[in-house]
Chain A
Amino acid sequence: MTLGLGFDSVVQAARVGAPWAWSALYREIAGPVTGFFRSRGVSDPESAAGDVFFELSRSLEAFDGTEESLRTLVFAIAYRRLLVEERHPRRNARSVLADRVLDRLQSDVEIVGDSSEAEIPDEVRVALRLLKPDQRDVLSLRVVAGLTVEQTATVIGSSIDAVKSAQRKALTKMRGSIPRPTGVT
């Protein structure tokens, strides 16, 4: 995040409901959040990101921390949202807030492109399918969400060693999916 010195002011204003502050937060974090959902195969990443911000708007009142900790909080909410999506895909495929967003978008705004798994390049999709769910979670949070090992461990409720182990295994498996150049063993 790059809010820098203005971070505290933005959070204070967001707490009292200043739209400009939420715009700033959304521009900083929403991209990685939608990317995280997209990498994990969520059918409607933008709607899921809207749910995350809806939840953030309810929990920001109690937040007290740095930019890094806010990012950890946002992805902790996103990770919970992902787990709910995986457990109840039909019920949560479109939340109430997402419906309202869709209504608005269909009325006067050009619809943001369909964010389904089809957007993921074939090479990446094949590689991700080799991984176990926890390895996909770790890799997505590290690469797409841009979290550190420590932040990732916090988000998924695991240990730092477990995160490191998961990413080692994930990358080793992904390497196996890439053909080696001729003559290299």
Chain B
Amino acid sequence: MKPSTVIPIDHWDELFDRDIETLIAGGTPANSDLAALQSLIAQLRALVDAALPDDFVEFHATESAAVAAARRARIDDRAPRGAGALILNLRRRLTAAATSLVMLVGATGVAWAADGAVPGDWNYGIDRALEAIGLGNGGESERLRELEAIAANPEEEPADAVDQFPPNDALMSPEKATGLARAEQALANSPGIGGQSAESRARATTLLQTLNDVGPIHGKAIADSVRSGDGKAAEPRTPGQTGRPDDQGAPGKSGPSAKPAGAGPSRAADKP
């Protein structure tokens, strides 16, 4: 007995699809069932209007042509020419320039406002970010102004402010030392400014003394020392080191705050 050939279903589909294509194209498919549909498919295909009346075609063609022409005319009208194009271009340029100006003014305003920020202000982060990309001073003089501002408003929470203060490695210079001393002196000589309490002024003064007397420490350590209320920095200074690492062995550069370590706390007491 001859074994029957098993044809996969997918293959059946493929053969069937091929026969369908033959049927649709008007041929005779191999599949007898599909071949039986030839007449039906031919009648279906005959529903196509082989030749529409000329007048009918011309009328529709004229209508479509008119619509297309009107549409093209509208598109052409939208494209500016001559003086209109110049005015449009000028308007676009003015709009772009005005937009740029507004953005520039806005950005400059933010930068300007942030430039005066001190640790504790909402925009101090913006100030530091602008400095990081080279906008704004960001040098020691700005840091010193910030310290003076803190000292002038000690009613604010100093610990919160110094939390934001950058590491003071860069502060240990003659300029910084001068500034610190000036801020410290200004604070001590201006009792009652801003209505600050004696306690808060004392804390700010202690902070400034700490900044001036200890070696390189960071804002967190300063904050901890302020919170503890003893004015001591968390990181001990190397014995024999002054407040300015770059000042070692250069007595001629010493400023008002260039004094031996350990003498700091007595300075405020020396002031009237």
Contact = CB atoms under 8 A, between A and B. Distances in A.
Interface of A: 14-23, 25-27, 30-32, 34-35, 38-39, 46, 49-50, 53-54, 56-58, 60-61, 97, 100-101, 104-105, 109-110, 112, 119-121, 123-124, 127-128, 139-140, 142-144, 164, 167-168, 171-172, 174-175, 178, 180
Contacts of B55: 109
Interface in B1-33: 13, 16-17, 20, 23-24, 33
Contact of A167 (B20, B63, B70, B72): B20
A97 B63 contact: yes
Contacts of B45: 143-144
19 contacts: A16-B68, A17-B69, A17-B70, A19-B61, A19-B62, A22-B62, A26-B60, A26-B64, A27-B57, A30-B49, A31-B52, A35-B49, A57-B63, A57-B67, A57-B68, A61-B72, A143-B45, A167-B20, A168-B16
Contacts of B16: 168
B69 A175 contact: no
A160 to B, nearest CB: 10
Contacts, number: 145
A128 B48 CA distance: 16
A38 B132 CA distance: 74
A54 B72 contact: no
A171 B20 contact: yes
List the 3 closest A-B pairs by CB distance, nearest first. A17-B69, A35-B48, A22-B61
User: Majority SS of interface residues in chain B?
Assistant: helix
Contacts of B13: 164, 168
B63 A112 contact: no
B60 A53 contact: yes
Interface residues of B, number: 42
Interface in B124-144: none
Interface in B36-86: 36-37, 39-41, 43-45, 47-53, 55-72, 75
A127 B40 contact: yes
A42 to B, nearest CB: 11
B36 to A, nearest CB: 6
Nearest to B72: A16
B149 interface: no
Contacts of B66: 17
B57 A30 contact: yes
Interface of B: 13, 16-17, 20, 23-24, 33-34, 36-37, 39-41, 43-45, 47-53, 55-72, 75
A117 to B, nearest CB: 11
B50 A31 contact: yes
Contacts of A26: 52, 57, 60-61, 64
Contact of A104 (B24, B59, B75): B59
Contact of A54 (B43, B53, B64): B64
Contacts of B57: 23, 26-27, 30
B63 A124 contact: no
Contacts of B36: 175, 178, 180
B75 A50 contact: no
B30 to A, nearest CB: 14
A124 B41 CA distance: 8
Contacts of B51: 31
B201 to A, nearest CB: 76
A4 B42 CA distance: 26
A164 to B, nearest CB: 6
In the complex, which of the residues B60, B63, B65, B69 has the most CB atoms of chain A within 10 Å of its own CB atom? B60
A50 B20 CA distance: 31
A142 B34 contact: no
A3 B58 CA distance: 18
Contacts of A49: 60
Contacts of B59: 101, 104-105, 109
Contacts of A127: 40
Nearest to A172: B33
A17 B40 CA distance: 40
A15 B75 CA distance: 11
